[in-house]
Amino acid sequence: MSETDLLRALVEAEHAAIYGYGVLGGRLSDPLREAAQRADDAHRARRDQLAVLLQARRAEVPPTQAAYDVAVSRPGAALALAVRLEEGMALRWRDLVGGTDDRTLRKLGVDALTESAVRATQWRRALGRRPGTVALPGS
């Protein structure tokens, strides 16, 4: 997969994560709702950062879809979805690290993978899992 393809896949995944957080945040109460809002903000920032990288390469930025089929009825399901969203992002960020020799993109991938792994840990702990970590995030 080319670097451009990896970046495009990341934008598409960030679109879905942003949509997912918008839905799941509404099923949570503070302080978890606030945590979901912060995660949403972080994913928007990453999506915008990726869009700038694609534009610099004169590559098309994938648009967001009108809607994603997300159904979350209970807080527990909302938290579980948040875990899955972050695990999905971690996979793609790890792919970027292994798909480029560009140190700037590598650093972006390492930083974003780490942030997703930390958020996944926080959501797992909110679900009562201890310690809530995994040995190899993104793999």
Partner 1 sequence: MLGAGALAAGRLGAGRLGIGALGIEALGGGLSLTACTRTDSSDPLPPDEDVDASVDPDGQVRAAALTRERALLAAYDAALLAPTSSAGLLRRLRAEHAEHLAALGGDPAASPAPSGSPAASATPSPSRARGLTALRAAERSAARGHARDALGASRQLAPLLASLAAAETSHLEALA
DSSP string, 35-84: HHHHHHHHHHHHHHHHHHHHHHTT-PPPPPPS-------SHHHHHHHHHH
Residues in the interface with partner 1 (CB under 8 A) total 74
The first and second tokens of residue 113, run together, are 């993978």
SS3 label, residue 28? coil
Cα–Cα distance, 15 to 111 (Å, whole number): 19
> Taking contact as CB under 8 A, which single stretch among the options 38-46, 50-58, 129-137 is the one that binds partner 1?
129-137
Residues 6-25 that bind partner 1 (CB under 8 A): 6, 9, 12-17, 19-20
Residues 52-111 that bind partner 1 (CB under 8 A): 65, 68-72, 74-77, 79-81, 83-85, 87-88, 90-95, 97-101, 103, 106-107, 109-111
For position 50 contacting partner 1 by CB under 8 A, the verdict is no
Is 40 or 122 the residue whose CB approaches partner 1 more closely?
A: 122
For position 33 contacting partner 1 by CB under 8 A, the verdict is no
Shortest reach from residue 107's CB to partner 1, in Å = 6
CB atoms within 10 A of CB 33: 16
